[in-house]
A and B are shown apart, each in its own frame.
Chain A
């Protein structure tokens, strides 16, 4: 009986092993090789990592100076959205969750494109403001700027943050909150308790996902960010016009290591809020 269950899982595990584990081991090996006259040479050296760390310090700083705030802001807004949907809006709450699910499937590229048309010089915000004579010249700081990039990221990631936190909040009873208030808890006490204790898995999952996805993105910076370059914008061309797989692989692993370290630190800090 037990063997049969493992047999059922085998195809899924096979897909995971052959298309994820093997390629990643190979990808790691590539990061240790080098390239000579457009040919991969099997080698063992850490030169690529040295380059990845020292030549791109500024770009890594750039990437994380945007993706850490994005992950934090998205997680907080996502929590607040789920809180409103769960406790404050009655019937409208299920519409809010439906809207979150629709935007989740609303297309990655199309969302970026939509923000490009909303924020541009001849875009929707500027054209409305000019139409109502609120401004004379289009506001040019909207698109190709840090602000525009952050807005686009937060919008794209919000559904991924709302759904896990809402799932945790569903388990919370209104009576719990009411009795906290009866015992003299302030508004922010309740929020703090919900955010750090009842939703801790959802909140952490949201932060982890947002950080990994933002720091590894390169399409949004390319289309919305203007002069802002993410590390992904340096990695992607190494697999296209600039043939340098080892360099790109080493940069990818460096990026993942940094992201995972940040996640471990945040998870560790979260432990302090645990009353147990």
Chain B
């Protein structure tokens, strides 16, 4: 029994280490002074950060990523929450079928989604830009929002609404003064997940943005030409944006797998 427990712990530790170490290494090497990411580390330095902040395109990429992330989060949290509230009042079977269908874009390879959207936009004569990226991202952020909010809504106590209605509140007033404050944390959490997913996306952005750049497309361009540790610095910024928003989201929504 003791050996069994010991072996389990070792496996658990090795697997956890395998999962987390690449991410920690990206952050670590953003703060070293050598031109290649390798051991031993001689001294720590901020020179890659200076290089990044002086990069010609960095500011506009950061701005684009933030604009896209926030717009996607705003729109998908509104449409997603509305859908989740609506679905929670339907029979479970209908709701889960609708959810499964709406979630198909998450399962598809991003490449196929990206090129299908690209050819669609171009054929409609749409100009590619941030707006096309934003509407494309809705496709895969919206299902997450619906899923997270829906799982809160199915345990929602509707008797509170009924009391408000009995006391003379209009349906809209009941929704604004009761439903929204109750589900607000979950909606904010879901919106932050949408930010994380949107900021991280590379492939769909790459096909639908046209000439512009976001942080991931900038990283891709830099990775193709060289392996300078300044990529680690941008990577750390992307990681900071995605991981901090998702940690706050997980904490607010109490979502645990």
Residues of A whose CB lies within 8 Å of any CB of B are: 4-9, 11-13, 15-16, 19-20, 22-24, 26-27, 30, 77, 80-81, 84-85, 88-89, 92, 94-97, 99-111, 113-118, 120, 122-124, 126-128, 131, 155, 158-159, 162-163, 166-167, 170, 208-209, 212-213, 215-219, 223, 232, 235-236, 239, 245, 248-249, 252, 255-256
Q: Which of A84, A105, A131, A213 contacts B15 (CB 8 A)?
A: A84
Residue in B11, B235, B247 whose CB lies within 8 Å of A107: B235
Q: Closest B-chain residue to A116, C-beta based?
A: B227
Interface pair A249/B19, CB less than 8 Å apart: no
Q: How far is the CB of B39 from chain A (nearest CB, A)?
A: 5
- Write out the residue numbers on chain A whose beta carbons fall within 8 Å of the beta carbon of B142: 12, 15-16
Residues on B with beta carbons closer than 8 Å to the beta carbon of A20: 104-105, 139
CB <8 Å contact, B37 and A123 = yes
Q: A19-B136, A19-B138, A212-B108 are in contact. Are A85 and B12 (CB under 8 A)?
A: yes
The answer to whether B202 touches A109 (Cβ under 8 A) is yes
In the complex, are the beta carbons of A117 and B136 less than 8 A apart? no
- Judge if B48 is at the interface, Cβ distance under 8 Å: no
Q: Which residues of B contact A (CB under 8 A)?
A: 5, 8-9, 11-12, 15-16, 18-20, 22-23, 25-26, 29, 36-40, 78-80, 82-83, 85-87, 89-90, 98, 101-102, 104-105, 107-112, 115-120, 123, 135-136, 138-139, 142, 146, 196-197, 200-203, 207, 216, 219-220, 223, 227, 231-232, 235, 238-239, 242-243, 246-247, 250, 256-257
Question: Given A97-B257, A116-B227, A235-B111, are A109 and B216 neighbors across the interface (CB < 8 Å)?
Answer: yes
Chain A residues in 8 Å Cβ range of B12: 81, 84-85, 88-89, 92, 96
- Are B79's CB and A106's CB within 8 A? no
Select which of A99, A127, A166 is within 8 A of B20 by beta carbon. A99
> Can you list 16 residue pairs at the A/B interface with Cβ under 8 Å?
A11-B79, A12-B83, A19-B139, A27-B119, A88-B9, A100-B19, A101-B246, A101-B257, A103-B20, A109-B216, A109-B235, A111-B22, A123-B38, A158-B19, A208-B107, A239-B119
- Asked if residues A102 and B39 are in contact (CB atoms below 8 Å), the reply is no
| Cross-chain contact A110 with B235 (CB below 8 angstroms) | yes
The interface residues of chain B lying within 8 Å CB-to-CB of A116 are 223, 227
Whether the pair B257, A167 counts as a contact (CB closer than 8 A) is yes
B200 touches A117 (CB 8 A): no
Contact B26 A127 (CB under 8 A): no
**Nearest B residue to A18 by beta-carbon distance?**
B135
| Other 9 A-B pairs with CB < 8 A, given A101-B246, A235-B111 | A7-B86, A19-B136, A80-B15, A101-B250, A117-B25, A212-B107, A219-B203, A245-B115, A256-B108
Q: Which residues of A contact B9 (CB under 8 A)?
A: 88-89, 92
Which residues of the other chain, B, contact A127 by a CB distance below 8 angstroms?
Answer: 38-40
Assess whether B11 is in contact with A80, with CB atoms less than 8 Å apart. Answer: yes
Known contacts A23-B117, A89-B12; A122/B239 CB under 8 A: no
Chain B contacts of A81 at CB under 8 A?
12, 15
Q: Within the assembled complex, what's the spacing in Å between the Cα atoms of A158 and B22?
A: 13
- Chain A residue nearest to B13 in the complex (CB): A92
Q: Which residues of A contact B109 (CB under 8 A)?
A: 212-213, 215-217, 232, 255
Given A30-B119, A88-B8, CB of A114 within 8 Å of CB of B25: yes
Contacts of A101 in B (CB 8 A): 246, 250, 257
Our pick among A13, A26, A114 for the contact of B22 (Cβ within 8 Å) is A114
Complex Cα–Cα for A213 and B110 (A): 8
Tell me whether A249 and B238 are in contact in the complex, defined as CB-CB below 8 angstroms, given that A8-B85, A235-B111, A239-B207 are known contacts.
no
Q: Smallest Cβ distance from B204 to chain A, in angstroms?
A: 11
Contact B235 A128 (CB under 8 A): no
Q: How far is the CA of A235 from the CA of B207 in the complex (A)?
A: 12
| Cα(A256)–Cα(B219), bound, Å | 29
Once the chains are docked, how many angstroms separate the CA of A217 from the CA of B202? 12
B80, B85, B86, B197: which has the most chain A beta carbons within 10 Å?
B86
- B22, B197, B203 — which one has the most chain A CB atoms within 10 A of its CB? B22
Among A22, A128, A236, contact of B120 (Cβ-Cβ < 8 Å)? A22
Q: Which residue of A lies closest to B118 (CB)?
A: A239
Known interface pairs A12-B142, A19-B139, A113-B26; A77-B15 also in contact (CB < 8 Å)? yes
Q: Closest A-chain residue to B223, C-beta based?
A: A113
- Cα A213 to Cα B227 in complex, Å, equals 26
B120 touches A8 (CB 8 A): no
Q: Report yes or no: A249 in contact with B227, Cβ–Cβ below 8 A.
A: no
- The distance in angstroms between the C-alpha atoms of A123 and B26, with both chains bound, is 12
| Inter-subunit contact A128/B39 (CB<8 Å) | yes
